[in-house]
Amino acid sequence: MLLKWFVLAVLASMSTANSDYPCEPDDHYVQNLGPLDTGLIFVNPRGGSYKGEKLCYWFVTCPVGADVIIDCPFVDIPESHLCKRDRLLIKRATSLAPQSFCGNQTIRTASYGNVMGVSFQAPDDTKGGHFQCQTSCNFALKY
């Protein structure tokens, strides 16, 4: 799993930086945020539910000394046992493995470092759902 996140970081570093990216199949994105920048991570640029298989990766960076903040005010991803089907995964800088999210919830978390990996996975037979998350940098967090 760590190798997968390392590969994500390498692929993301080869991408063109932009702050707003929807999930398109098998895409890898990087968000290089400045101190006052915000970005969006979302699954469907036209709104509504996603359909079909999805596998997307985002690698978010902030300047050294800042933490990446991800704020998802409304996540609506079909719930499954241990979030093994449709899932939003968030990998903090200090974590060995990503945390999986599914169901209806709000997510707000910090990276505790200047990088964060995010991925979204959904199988071909998904019921569909949606989410939108804002990314930003925070220099004030202490841990």
Q: Is 81 helix (H, G, I), strand (E, B) or coil?
A: helix
Q: Which CATH architecture has domain 2-138?
A: Sandwich (2.60)
The residue assigned the tokens 């930086």 is: 17
If residue 136 lies in a helix (H) or strand (E), which one and from where to where?
A: strand 130-138
Q: How far apart are CA 29 and CA 22, in angstroms?
A: 9
Q: pLDDT tens for the chain, 143 residues: list them.
A: 444 444 444 434 434 344 566 776 667 888 999 988 999 998 876 677 888 889 999 999 999 999 999 999 989 999 999 999 999 999 998 888 999 999 999 999 999 899 999 999 999 999 999 999 999 999 875 55
How is residue 20 written in tokens? 């707003």
What is the amino acid identity at position 57? Y
Radius of gyration of the chain from its Cα atoms, rounded to whole angstroms: 14
* Domain map (residue ranges) of the chain: 2-138
